[in-house]
């Protein structure tokens, strides 16, 4: 009897060790405080995109300088307006079933129906026809050179059509989506999301940090760190390798035109004009620059001569002074996206506003899904937010001014929306860029938003014992962690 | 030194040469490839920069980074990375995971390309060729403003081996191997194989066969040199075969001649015995004695003729320069007469030769060939003068100044008239061959008188005959020749000869002395060597033949081996051999020509009345003589001392021959002790010791001297 007890004890110990070893082997990745949503409808922040990237597959994948086939096996233009897409028969969902044309069509339709931003792709598409189980034909309205580039961005995941039908009835199912990527969600909680590989790769643990920052000691608990580190001297982090990827992000302050305070354009312009960005910029350090244009530097449509702030200043000076600080207004409400404003910089943002008008109320927004619409409805006066890019096109920064859930301005400018849509129908990038300028000028004239800072390069710290091939090809939120292996070398 | 086969040598040298050429070609190839690769790389980079700049600038103007990254991705390759640094110092590259370049560029804070055009830089331990192009906007559109720079990083290796060079290397190696194989075959079939065939043929060829025609046909296509060697060898072989045939014939003849000479030589001993006996066979009737004498003479003539011919045949090996050597005249005359007897054996003429007792062992300096020709001519003249008898007399004419040998040729022919005699006397030649006299006699006179310092007298009377006297100066007897055999009673005579007749000759000769002698007979050297007499004794004399049947050892070797030189005499017909003469002279041995065994004078030395002393000492220094006398008296040794050679010469015959004689090396007035010792040795004293103040090693070897000691008395 004792013998069997011993054996059972040893087996338990081994299994425990295996479990511990298994846990130890997982890749631990920090995430900023955010309401992670794996539902592609609405708006996804970069944290949600990173997690979704691991779970979902797409027809194509953006590889930075080029794109690669993911669930698709081939794509062929049979005419300037017709593409034949073949789906790879080996592309499988997590339950082992193959990805079919119907799944792709259902997924695209779901995104089209539920997302109000990044709709340019659907503007280009006339219709999608299923040819057979693995073949489909896309018919475009007009020739769209950017079509495949946009389709390969992170916004067009594929889900099993039956899952979409079920998820339509039960939104909670989006916590465990049935995608066709290399990972599936094994655990979804507010502060941690655990993924397990379908066939190969290391397990992943995404750990959300409510403070949006960690200490040096805490950093060593993670394998990949994307947060600010308290007490860090310079850029170096012992035991980690810094990878700076090109990931232009711009930070803005937007105003709610529906707020009583900002009914007058004059007040908006004078408020924005009176903000001193320099102090904020100095806090960010050399990694950021003061934004000069509505779209960040090194993004299609950017102009060095835009001088967005100067235009607002000029407007503020041209119009008669209006007391936006008048006592008749409700207390100043300030909102911000937690995913955009890191904790250590939050005070700087607030100070910048406080120096102009005292902030009476702070309203953080964790869920970015319909942040524009929600912000407008909340009646809050101003919002800090950041926008990133997938394929470095100005459209990605202008789409929030369309009539959609992301529009925080409260202005429904149909002409502007049309202009934005029209820009996506232009084949020539230069023409598109020029149209972007017109759109930006129109936005600037409304004094409804002002770019603050631009961060071109985004740094992530990867532990030295990790081998992450191709990590520099794309922005980190588009990187597939299934490629990461752990080196046995110490 | 290790020797190689031609095939191995050629192959090795070929492989070595090939390898060296291959290596040098590769080195040169690598060298030029390196510079060519660098130039091509630069050119390629320049073109890429030009093209890429044109493509990047429009995208850069509108900040289309996505397109720029796509272009950079397309332009980059293995070991080659392109990136753009905007004027705002934003680094645009296709893969930011390659942190080396982005960090390096960020640190530079580039504004333009200054110092970065075609520069070799080391980035994180890797060498790169860095190139930079400034990106400027289109002047008409953007006003030529600076948009940034395009940078390229091309990995640089000193040895850049393109695949082309690798393929070239592989092709070269293959060609080299094929060439080795083909050339090896060619060299083998065109050179090595013919040489090997020729070698095999040369090895297997013998004088009896020729080179194989089949094999020679195989190498008919061989290189000229090989064919020439083959032809030369063929000619050499032909010559060798011819020479071999001649040699075989010569050897056959020589064997016959040697056989004949051997027969002649061997027959001499019995002839000598026969000749000696015929003198004493008084009991036989005159007619029978004449028959026996004629028969003996005839046998002797045959032997002499054979030996004469043998000598002529071997004349090449004998030194012709020695033509004026001292020649044993009696021997020459005997041989010549034998020859003439054979020549005129069908002619009714009788040849006689008379030699008086003193004529034995007389030598004169003559040219043998010329001497024979002169005498032969004289005899021929006598035959032509119809002489029925011809007599040759040899005698010695003692003279106070110099003794002479007289050779008289007397015939009973028709003689010569006075007129011809007169002409001959005054040296006018007569050409008449009718009578056989003329120029020959004049030339004979001239040779005898001028060359040999002799005289020639011709006396003739018509119908009475002619007498020609030839006087030749007597030459000193050669050291190898024994003029007189001295013998005392009670001696033991050891005779070593394979011919029993010689044993009998000696015994007959000694028997006439009427003294008591003991004879010991041996018939081969081995018998003597195994006997008690092999050690030699002063009471013995050894008469030893030179050649023995069935024994390889000669009498000379026997004497040398047993150290019997002071007691031995070689009895041989080989006395004419110069080599033997020199050898015996060095060893101090005397030769008795076998033909003279019956004629050599034998002198009996009586020992009973001889003075006996223990030793004789000859020295010109009176103090030393006194010292020797004093020591001798002290030691009880009977010693006679002499102050000069002359003093001893007067008394020397009164001493027994076995007397021990000490003689000083330097006797004053130029008299050398060694020379006088030789004289004494020849006289018969065999125990001679040289005294000298010099070291014995300073003297050459002298067989007539038993020992060399200092001036101190040895007793």
Cα–Cα distance, A410 to A368 (Å, whole number): 16
Mutate which: A247, A305, A393, A472, vs B, most B CBs within 10 A: A472
Residue B486 main-chain phi, psi, to 5 deg: -95, 140
Cα–Cα distance, A40 to A109 (Å, whole number): 11
Hey, which residues 233-252 in chain A have their CB within 8 Å of chain B?
A: 241-246, 248
| pTM for the structure as a whole | 0.54
φ/ψ region of A392 (left if φ > 0, alpha if ψ in -120 to 50, else beta) reads left
Give the per-residue pLDDT at A325. 65
Hey, which residues 450-489 in chain A have their CB within 8 Å of chain B?
A: 456-457, 468-473
Task: Please state, in angstroms and as integers, the Cα–Cα distance from residue A261 to each residue in A322, A411, B477, following that order.
Answer: 10, 15, 170
Which of these, B607, B704, B593, B617, lies nearest to B658 by C-alpha position? B607
Is B192 in contact with B56 (CB distance < 8 Å)? no
B63 → closest Cβ in A64, A242, A297: A297
Is B420 in contact with B429 (CB distance < 8 Å)? no
Say yes or no for a CB contact (<8 Å) between A65 and B69.
yes
Chain segment A168-207, per-residue pLDDT in tens: 999 899 999 999 999 999 999 988 999 999 999 999 999 9
Cα–Cα distance, B539 to B494 (Å, whole number): 10
Say yes or no for a CB contact (<8 Å) between A433 and B67.
no
Is beta strand A333-337 parallel, antiparallel or unpaired with respect to A485-486? unpaired
Is A206 in contact with A193 (CB distance < 8 Å)? yes
B65 → closest Cβ in A242, A246, A289: A246
> How far is A282 from chain B, CA to nearest CA, in Å?
17
Say yes or no for a CB contact (<8 Å) between A242 and B102.
no
Say yes or no for a CB contact (<8 Å) between B65 and A242.
no
Structure tokens at A302: 């950017």
> How far is B70 from chain A, CA to nearest CA, in Å?
4
Helix (H) / strand (E) containing B22 = helix B6-61
Give the per-residue pLDDT at B253. 82
pLDDT at B300 over 50: yes
Helix (H) / strand (E) containing A88 = none
For chain B, the first-to-last Cα distance in angstroms comes to 63
Q: Could you tell me the pLDDT band of residue B268, with boundaries at 50, 70 and 90?
A: low
- Spatial CB neighbours of A251, under 8 Å, sequence gap ≥ 6: A291, A340, A341, A384, A385, A386, A451, A452, A453, A454, A455
Is A397 in contact with A120 (CB distance < 8 Å)? no
Say yes or no for a CB contact (<8 Å) between A64 and B97.
no
> How far is B95 from chain A, CA to nearest CA, in Å?
4
Structure tokens at B251: 């050897």
Contacts of A298 in chain B (CB under 8 A): 63, 65, 86, 88, 90, 92
Chain segment A374-402, per-residue pLDDT in tens: 899 888 999 999 998 888 899 989 998 98
Is B307 in contact with B335 (CB distance < 8 Å)? yes
> B679: how many CB neighbours lie within 10 A of its CB?
13
Cα–Cα distance, A468 to A459 (Å, whole number): 15
Give the per-residue pLDDT at B152. 92
Say yes or no for a CB contact (<8 Å) between A298 and B63.
yes
Report percent pLDDT > 90 for chain B: 9
Contacts of A396 in chain B (CB under 8 A): none
Cα–Cα distance, B547 to B265 (Å, whole number): 10
Say yes or no for a CB contact (<8 Å) between B95 and A472.
yes
Per-residue pLDDT of chain A (490 residues; tens, 9 = 90+): 455 555 555 555 444 444 444 456 899 999 987 788 899 887 788 889 999 999 999 999 988 778 889 999 999 999 999 999 999 999 999 999 999 999 999 999 999 988 878 888 998 999 999 999 999 999 999 888 889 988 998 889 999 999 999 999 998 999 999 999 999 999 999 889 999 999 999 999 999 988 888 888 899 999 999 888 888 777 788 899 988 888 889 999 999 988 888 888 888 898 999 999 988 888 877 778 899 999 998 899 998 888 899 999 988 888 676 667 666 677 889 999 888 887 778 888 899 998 888 888 899 888 887 888 889 988 899 999 999 888 889 998 999 898 888 889 988 888 999 999 899 888 888 899 999 999 999 999 999 999 999 988 888 999 999 999 988 888 888 899 999 999 875 4
Structure tokens at A20: 């511990």
Cα–Cα distance, A447 to A290 (Å, whole number): 18
pLDDT at B8 over 80: no
Cα–Cα distance, B228 to B224 (Å, whole number): 6
Say yes or no for a CB contact (<8 Å) between B65 and A429.
no
Give the per-residue pLDDT at B141. 64
- CA angle centred on B115, ends B111 and B118, rounded to 5°: 115
Say yes or no for a CB contact (<8 Å) between B97 and A470.
yes
Cα–Cα distance, A231 to A244 (Å, whole number): 20
């Amino acid at each position: 009897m004792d013998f069997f007890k011993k054996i059972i004890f040893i087996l338990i110990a081994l299994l425990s060790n295996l479990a511990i070893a298994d846990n130890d082997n997982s890749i631990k990745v920090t995430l900023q405080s955010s309401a992670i949503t794996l539902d592609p409808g609405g708006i996804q922040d970069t944290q949600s995109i990173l997690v979704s990237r691991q779970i979902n597959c797409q027809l194509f994948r953006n590889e930075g300088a080029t794109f690669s086939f993911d669930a698709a096996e081939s794509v062929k233009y049979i005419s300037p307006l017709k593409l034949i897409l073949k789906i790879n028969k080996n592309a499988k969902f997590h339950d082992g079933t193959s990805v079919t044309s119907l799944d792709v069509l259902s997924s695209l339709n779901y995104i089209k129906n539920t997302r109000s931003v990044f709709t340019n792709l659907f503007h280009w598409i006339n219709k999608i026809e299923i040819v057979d189980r693995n073949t489909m034909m896309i018919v475009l309205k007009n020739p769209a050179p950017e079509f495949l580039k946009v389709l390969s961005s992170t916004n067009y995941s594929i889900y099993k059509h039956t899952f979409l039908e079920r998820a339509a009835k039960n939104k909670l199912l989006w916590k465990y989506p049935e995608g066709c990527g290399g990972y599936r969600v094994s655990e979804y909680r507010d502060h941690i999301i655990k993924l397990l590989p379908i066939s190969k790769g290391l397990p992943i643990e995404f750990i959300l940090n409510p403070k949006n920052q960690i200490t040096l000691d805490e950093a060593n608990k993670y394998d990949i760190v994307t947060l600010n580190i308290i007490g860090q001297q310079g850029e170096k982090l012992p035991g980690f390798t810094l990878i700076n990827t090109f990931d232009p992000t711009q930070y803005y302050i937007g105003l709610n035109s529906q707020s009583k305070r900002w009914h007058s354009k004059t007040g908006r312009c004078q408020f924005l004009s009176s903000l001193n960005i320099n102090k904020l910029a100095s806090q960010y350090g050399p990694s950021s620059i003061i934004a000069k244009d509505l779209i960040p530097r090194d993004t299609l449509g950017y102009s060095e001569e835009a001088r967005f702030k100067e235009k607002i200043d000029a407007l503020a000076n041209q119009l008669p002074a209006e007391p936006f600080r008048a006592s008749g207004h409700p207390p100043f409400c300030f909102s911000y996206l937690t995913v955009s404003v890191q904790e250590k910089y939050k005070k700087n943002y607030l100070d910048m506003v406080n120096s102009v008008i005292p902030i009476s109320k702070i309203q953080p927004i964790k869920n970015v899904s319909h942040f524009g619409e929600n912000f407008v409805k909340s009646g809050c006066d101003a919002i800090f937010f950041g926008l990133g890019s997938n394929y470095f096109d100005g459209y990605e920064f202008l789409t929030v001014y369309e009539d959609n859930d992301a529009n925080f301005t409260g202005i429904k400018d149909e002409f502007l929306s049309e202009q934005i849509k029209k820009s996506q129908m232009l084949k020539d990038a230069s023409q598109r860029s020029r149209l972007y300028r017109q759109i930006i000028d129109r936005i600037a004239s409304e004094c409804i938003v002002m770019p603050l800072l631009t961060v071109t390069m985004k740094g992530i710290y990867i532990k030295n014992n990790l081998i992450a091939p191709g990590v520099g090809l794309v922005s980190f939120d588009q990187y597939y962690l299934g490629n990461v292996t752990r080196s046995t070398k110490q | 030194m290790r020797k190689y086969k031609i095939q191995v040598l050629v192959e090795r040298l070929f492989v070595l040469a090939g390898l060296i050429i291959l290596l040098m070609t590769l080195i040169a190839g690598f060298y030029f490839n390196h510079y060519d690769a660098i130039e091509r790389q630069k050119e390629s980079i320049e073109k890429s920069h030009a093209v890429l700049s044109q493509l990047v600038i429009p995208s850069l103007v509108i900040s289309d980074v996505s397109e720029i990254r796509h272009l950079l991705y397309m332009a980059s390759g293995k070991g080659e990375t392109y990136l753009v640094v905007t004027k705002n110092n934003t680094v645009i590259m296709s893969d930011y995971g390659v942190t080396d370049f982005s960090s390096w560029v960020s640190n530079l804070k580039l504004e333009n390309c200054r110092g970065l055009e075609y520069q070799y830089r080391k980035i994180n331990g890797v060498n790169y060729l860095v190139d930079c192009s400034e990106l400027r906007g289109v002047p008409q559109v953007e006003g030529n403003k600076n948009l940034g720079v395009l940078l390229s990083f091309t990995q640089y290796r000193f040895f850049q081996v393109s695949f082309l060079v690798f393929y070239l290397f592989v092709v070269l190696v293959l060609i080299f191997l094929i060439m080795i194989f083909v050339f090896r075959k060619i060299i083998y079939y065109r050179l090595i194989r013919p040489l090997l065939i020729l070698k095999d043929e040369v090895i297997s060829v013998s004088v009896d066969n020729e080179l194989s025609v089949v094999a020679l046909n195989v190498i008919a296509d061989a290189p000229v040199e090989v064919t020439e060697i083959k032809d030369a060898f063929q000619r050499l072989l032909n010559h060798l075969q011819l020479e071999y045939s001649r040699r075989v014939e010569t050897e056959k003849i020589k064997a016959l001649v040697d056989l004949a000479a051997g027969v002649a030589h061997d027959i001499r001993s019995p002839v000598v015995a026969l000749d000696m006996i015929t003198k004493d066979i008084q009991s036989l009737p005159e007619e029978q004695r004449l028959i026996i004498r004629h028969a003996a003479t005839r046998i002797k003539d045959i032997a002499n003729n054979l030996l004469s011919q043998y000598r002529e045949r071997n004349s090449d090996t004998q030194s012709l320069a020695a033509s004026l050597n001292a020649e044993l005249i009696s021997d020459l005359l005997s041989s010549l007469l034998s020859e003439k007897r054979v020549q005129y054996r069908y002619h009714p003429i009788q040849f006689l030769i008379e030699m008086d007792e003193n004529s034995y062992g007389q030598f004169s300096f003559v040219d043998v060939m010329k001497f024979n020709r002169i005498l032969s001519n004289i005899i021929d003249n006598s035959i032509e003068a119809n002489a029925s008898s011809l007599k040759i007399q040899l005698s010695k004419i003692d003279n106070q100044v110099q003794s002479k040998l007289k050779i008289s040729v007397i015939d009973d022919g028709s003689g010569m008239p006075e007129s011809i005699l007169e002409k001959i006397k005054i040296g006018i030649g007569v050409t008449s061959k009718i009578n056989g006299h003329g120029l020959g006699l004049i030339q004979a006179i001239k040779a005898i008188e001028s060359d040999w310092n002799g005289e020639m007298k011709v006396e003739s009377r018509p119908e009475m005959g002619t007498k020609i006297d030839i006087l030749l100066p007597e030459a000193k007897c050669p050291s190898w020749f024994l003029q007189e055999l001295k013998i005392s009673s009670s001696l033991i005579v050891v005779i070593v000869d394979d011919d029993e007749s010689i044993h009998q000759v000696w015994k007959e000769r000694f028997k006439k002395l009427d003294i008591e002698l003991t004879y010991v007979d041996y018939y081969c050297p081995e018998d003597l060597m195994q006997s008690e007499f092999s050690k030699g004794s002063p009471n013995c004399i050894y008469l030893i033949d030179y050649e023995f049947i069935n024994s390889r050892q000669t009498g000379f070797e026997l004497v040398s081996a047993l150290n019997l030189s002071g007691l031995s005499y070689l009895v041989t017909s080989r006395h004419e051999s110069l080599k033997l003469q020199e050898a015996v002279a060095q060893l101090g041995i005397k030769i008795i020509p076998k033909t003279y065994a019956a004629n050599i004078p034998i002198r009996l030395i009586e020992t009973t009345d001889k003075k006996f002393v223990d030793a004789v000492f000859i020295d010109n220094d009176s103090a030393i003589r006194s010292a020797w006398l004093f020591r001798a008296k002290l030691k009880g040794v009977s010693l006679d001392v002499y102050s000069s050679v002359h003093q001893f010469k007067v008394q020397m015959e009164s001493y027994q021959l076995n007397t021990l004689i000490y003689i000083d090396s330097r006797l004053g007035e130029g008299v050398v002790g060694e020379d006088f010792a030789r004289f004494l040795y020849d006289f018969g004293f065999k125990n001679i010791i040289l005294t000298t103040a010099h070291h014995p090693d300073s003297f050459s070897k002298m067989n007539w001297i038993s020992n060399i000691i200092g001036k101190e008395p040895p007793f």
